[in-house]
Copies of this chain bind each other. A is one copy, B any other.
Amino acid sequence: MSTITDVAALAGVSPSTASRALRGSGQISAATRARVEEAARELDYVANPSAVRLVNGRTDAIGLVVPFVTRWFFAQAVTGAEDVIRGADHDLLLYNLGGPDGRQRFFERMPLRNHVAGVLVLSLALSEKERAQLAQMRVPLVTVGHDAPGASSVMIDDRAAASTAVQHLLNLGHRRIGLIGGLPEDPMHFTSSALRARGYREALTAAGAPVDETLIVPSDYTIDGGRRAAVRLLALPTPPTAVFAMSDEMAIGAIDAARSMGVRVPEDLSIVGFDDHDLAAFFHLTTIRQPVQEEGREAARILLRMLSAPDEAETAHAVLDTELILRASTAPLRR
> Which of the segments A49-57, A144-152, A196-204, A211-219 contacts the partner chain?
A49-57
A127 at the interface (CB under 8 A from B): no
Separation in Å of the A182 CB from the closest CB of chain B? Answer: 19
> Which of the segments A11-19, A84-92, A306-314 contacts the partner chain?
A84-92
A287 at the interface (CB under 8 A from B): no
Once A75-B70, A93-B93 are accepted as A-B contacts, the answer to whether A136 and B44 lie under 8 Å apart by CB is yes
Separation in Å of the A17 CB from the closest CB of chain B? Answer: 21
> In the bound complex, what is the Cα–Cα distance between A113 and B44 (angstroms)?
10
Q: Chain A: how many interface residues by the 8 Å CB criterion?
A: 45
> In the bound complex, what is the Cα–Cα distance between A145 and B114 (angstroms)?
35
Separation in Å of the A261 CB from the closest CB of chain B? Answer: 16
Specify which of B69, B82, B279 is in contact with A75 (CB 8 Å cutoff). Answer: B69
CB-nearest residue of chain B to A58: B50
Separation in Å of the A195 CB from the closest CB of chain B? Answer: 25
A315 at the interface (CB under 8 A from B): no
Which residues on the B side are within 8 Å of A46 (C-beta)?
113-114
A164 at the interface (CB under 8 A from B): no
Interface residues of A in 274-321 (CB under 8 A from B): 278-279, 282
Contact with B along A87-107 (1 / 0, CB 8 A): 001011111101000100000
A32 at the interface (CB under 8 A from B): no
Q: Which of A49, A98, A102, A138 lies at the interface centre, i.e. has the most chain B CB atoms within 10 A of its CB?
A: A49
A326 at the interface (CB under 8 A from B): no
Q: Is there contact, CB below 8 Å, between A114 and B1?
A: yes
A5 at the interface (CB under 8 A from B): no
Specify which of B72, B86, B98 is in contact with A79 (CB 8 Å cutoff). Answer: B98
Contact with B along A55-88 (1 / 0, CB 8 A): 0000101001000111010011011001100100
> In the bound complex, what is the Cα–Cα distance between A180 and B254 (angstroms)?
30
Which residues on the B side are within 8 Å of A93 (C-beta)?
61, 91-94
A47 at the interface (CB under 8 A from B): yes
Which residues on the B side are within 8 Å of A189 (C-beta)?
none
CB-nearest residue of chain B to A222: B278
A184 at the interface (CB under 8 A from B): no
Once A59-B50, A69-B75 are accepted as A-B contacts, the answer to whether A111 and B86 lie under 8 Å apart by CB is yes
Once A46-B114, A91-B93 are accepted as A-B contacts, the answer to whether A70 and B76 lie under 8 Å apart by CB is yes
Known: A1-B138, A49-B115, A91-B111. 9 other contacts (CB 8 A): A47-B114, A50-B50, A50-B53, A68-B79, A69-B78, A70-B79, A75-B75, A79-B96, A223-B282
